[in-house]
Structure 1
């Protein structure tokens, strides 16, 4: 089994754990927090040592620290020298922790090295990256125009998840759902976002490496479904609101929809399980009921680790 310890000065580690709990729900691996505070009477090394004694001899223990060269990291390195189960990783960030928290098996050395490389990519100058994206988009359009018409038919797409989520593409989607369903392409369907260059740029920055992303209006998404079925990809679709989801489903058959998140607002009430993030007003409930009336199954589930709540009526 894997064990994950976040060790830092102050409350940085505790805040990181709170963040991944919001993204993942209950993660597959317990996440332990040890903080170095000014008024501590027990050393952080002793507290981590006590944690290590509570683990199984067969566990692999990842200790993520806040900074290379810090007193916290130095003490963890001393522990690593005396316990062969321990691997210390300095300079933790959220992408690194999220991946470790969902790892089912101990990582090979090469896998851990790649994980650290990927985590570093999460630190970027967004303004420079957006400029590079615009230049790359221009080249891609020119290349596509030259190659148009030579795409081979690869078979129907597998739409592995259709999700309602007003936040569109964000941490829960990138780190939880995408890995769970094995998506090769993400299609965001939202009229407002698709026509807003700033939002389109931000969504492209959030796209995971190696995954294709489209941001469509409802009308354009409907028009693209025939082409999508020639690509043979595993596809995840994300809709920003119930009304547009209903409009799409009136033209293209969907069997199951995941209600993940709908923002709370005046006149809205919670829908789903106890810890739901779905809030719908009367008009939105009418649209959702129309989906049920089409024979579509709807369930509320924010993250893959949370229990599903089937919704039978609105």
Structure 2
């Protein structure tokens, strides 16, 4: 029988697994894997592997995931690519009709692909409106906007666009880089022309790079670039009409960019994952002594930090949080 992994932000996967059991009865070889605020991508990756290791059939696995482009999906995508199993397949938009349909379909299907094909329509068809007359008609397909040039290379060197200075609409430190909260909530808030993920490590890791590009929100171009490239872009007048969202994996990379001449008046700290040797500051942030030294060096360059996970959250002061842990 095809095995099933339910993967989500928060406890959603656990809750929908329980709901599915109420409707279809207890199920074997079904695991709920949840991403909690204190976890990083590697933690989610390991939890997925641990869940799969409990299945009686590990060759035929269907992943039902909450959100395309979020950390659960990104780590499932990474697993499918790295592990190389022919019948591991993922579908996003997890809802109860999808799960119930999967439970029924896997009783007569030999492969995860076959189950996915059967449940796809049911999961979409489960979206209904009451009163029925208020249900929107099928929207006509909207033509995608013409792509903006991916880099200044398509424009003659020396051309000045706008005022010749790239606009940093939002700069964020986030261990997970581009994930669900950034791709949805922050992109809608900031409305950038493009997202620049700045990391030497990711820029030279084709798997991680492709996963991030796949997580791009509709209509926004995403580029994964090394720190040296950002330094070049910052000085290039061809980017003067660009409104950019900048994502750094850690404060050390941000400091290297500033040492290269890039100046950020304001930076949001969204997430710094916990690991051995780090002190947990709040649900989303953990620091060690080197992190604190780096943050202070950036502050001394004139950069103001604030802590905010999503736009609706209260804004916190990183220095007050560090002081409360005797780290400031």
The TM-score range, normalised by the shorter chain, is 0.5 to 0.7
What secondary structure sits across from 2:235 in the alignment? Answer: helix
For the residues of structure 1 that align with 2:138 and 2:192, how far apart are their CA atoms? 24
In structure 1, the residue matched to 2:131 is: 83
In structure 1, runs of 5+ residues without a counterpart are 1-10, 22-31, 41-63, 88-107, 119-139
1:290 to 279, 291, 297: 297
Pair 198,67 (structure 1): closer, same or farther in 2 beyond 3 Å: closer
| Alignment map for 1:273-284 (pairs within 5 Å) | 274-275=282-283, 277-284=284-291
Q: Which runs of 5+ in 2 are unaligned?
A: 25-94, 105-120, 323-327
Is 1:265 aligned to residue 265 of structure 2? no
Residue 66 (structure 1) aligned with residue 97 (structure 2): yes
Counterpart secondary structure, 1:66? helix
Task: Please give the alpha-carbon distance, in whole angstroms, between the structure 2 residues aligned to 1:16 and 1:38.
Answer: 20
Alignment match, 1:170: 179
Query: 1:189 aligns to what?
Result: 198
Give the alignment's TM-score, normalised by structure 1: 0.57
Q: CA deviation at 1:213?
A: 2.0
| 1:17/1:33 CA distance change after superposition, 3 Å | farther
- Tell me how many residue pairs correspond in the alignment: 225
1:115-154 counterparts in 2 under 5 A? Answer: 148-149=156-157, 153-154=161-162
Instruction: Pick the aligned partner of 1:299 from 302, 306, 318.
Output: 306
Q: Flag the 1:174–1:114 CA change in 2: closer, same or farther, 3 A.
A: farther
In the alignment, what sits opposite 2:108? none
Whole-Å separation in 2 of the counterparts to 1:151 and 1:179: 30
Cα 1:279–1:17, aligned 2, differ >3 Å: closer, same or farther?
A: closer
CA contact (8 A) 2:160 2:238 kept: no
Report the Cα distance in structure 2 between the residues aligned to 1:79 and 1:220, rounded to whole angstroms. 44
1:281 shift after superposition: 0.6
TM-score by length of 2: 0.55
Deviation at 1:186, TM superposition (A): 0.6
For residues 196-248 of structure 1, the C-alpha deviation after alignment (integer angstroms, 9 at most, x for no partner) is: 22222222222223212222221221111122663412210000111111121
Distance 1:154 1:248, change over 3 A: same
Deviation at 1:283, TM superposition (A): 0.7
Secondary structure of the residue aligned to 2:192 is: coil
Query: Secondary structure of the equivalent of 2:189?
Result: helix
